[in-house]
């Protein structure tokens, strides 16, 4: 990709994210982005349909980074979580905005699919009598719980160490709350 195109897209994205940190997406206009980014509207529309398309593309890029970080098939829950968390850590401001502004985190469904496939393969191998439906329920439960932990971590400004959060996710995923809360 041409350097000018990369630069233009970066300016648009950065301007949009700055505005998104200040106000709701419904109040952000293409004209406002163009004025602040010092580009014309035709340039914006060359790459994006509107502000929602821009947000969708930003989310897609983020999910792509998350997928790349979890590509290894032999990962355990701790390593899988740690790889995901490192991407969040490398993109702190974006993660804060996406978790804060996206009421439903459907854009992370692709990561659910990756986690589901990893769990299904592992559990099918280890527990061949387990039904696909049970695997699906367990995976959805674990993923949504992990998302809650990640969201809490982000809201607390990434205070805890990545290894600590990965360990929490692994323990809760593997042993549930009883063993996690009442550990000796």
pLDDT in tens, 51-87: 999 998 998 898 888 888 877 766 788 888 898 899 9
Q: Among residues 96, 94, 102, which one has the least CA distance to residue 152?
A: 96
Give residue-wise pLDDT tens across range 107-117. 677 677 777 77
Residues 6+ apart with CB under 8 A from 8: 39, 43, 47
pTM above threshold 0.85: no
Instruction: Tell me the CA distances in angstroms from 102 to 3, 7, 107, 146, 170, one per residue in order.
Output: 30, 26, 9, 17, 25
Using an 8 Å Cβ cutoff, are 55 and 107 in contact?
Answer: no
- Domains located in the chain, CATH noted: 3-48 (1.10.10), 59-181 (1.10.357)
């Amino acid at each position: 990709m041409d350097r000018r195109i990369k630069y233009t897209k970066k300016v648009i994205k950065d301007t949009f994210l700055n505005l998104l940190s200040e106000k709701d997406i419904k109040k952000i206009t293409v004209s406002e982005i163009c004025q602040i980014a010092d580009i014309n509207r035709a340039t914006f529309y060359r790459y994006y349909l509107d502000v929602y398309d821009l947000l969708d593309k930003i989310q897609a890029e983020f999910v792509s980074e998350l997928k790349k970080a979890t590509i290894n098939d032999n990962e355990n829950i701790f390593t899988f979580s740690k790889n995901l968390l490192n991407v969040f850590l490398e993109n702190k401001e974006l993660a804060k905005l996406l978790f804060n502004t996206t009421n439903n985190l459907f854009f992370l469904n692709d990561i659910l699919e990756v986690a589901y496939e990893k769990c299904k393969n592992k559990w099918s191998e280890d527990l061949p009598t387990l039904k696909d439906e049970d695997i699906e329920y367990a995976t959805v439960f674990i993923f949504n719980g992990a998302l809650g932990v990640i969201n809490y971590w982000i809201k607390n400004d990434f205070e805890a160490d990545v290894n600590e959060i990965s360990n929490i996710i692994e323990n809760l995923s593997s042993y549930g709350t009883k063993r996690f809360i009442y550990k000796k």
